[in-house]
Structure 1
């Protein structure tokens, strides 16, 4: 019984650690990369709209750039083919 409890505790902590590995605040939703809520188009009479600050926009751009670079690393992207003069 104690071994089962210990194993379940270890596995739960392992999966919780994996959940923390997702470091992007703006995770893709299907094929779309979401924007901050302040960049979403709201209704004319919607009072919940708050304008973006320059810091919000820069944080979003930094996060998207990080996400793209991470994807390039994962697929083993090599840009040398685009540097060929034949293209």
Structure 2
């Protein structure tokens, strides 16, 4: 599988897992791959950071979770449409 597909698969799997209210722990290594793959200004990197933050919160590592979410918010400042509330 090409790296671009693997990184995108990681995001889709994390999203589906989260939306089904399942633990994100099985997505950990794939999220790490996505974090390494995407550049620091990519919207997808911000999505991976948010899911990694949720995973860290599930593991009771609140400080690291907050750091991940702050990094995601920093990237998303360049994508104002994506930060609007969606139903």
Please, what TM-score do these two structures have when normalized by structure 2?
0.29
More helix by share: 2
Structure of larger gyration radius:
1
Normalising by structure 1, what TM-score?
0.29
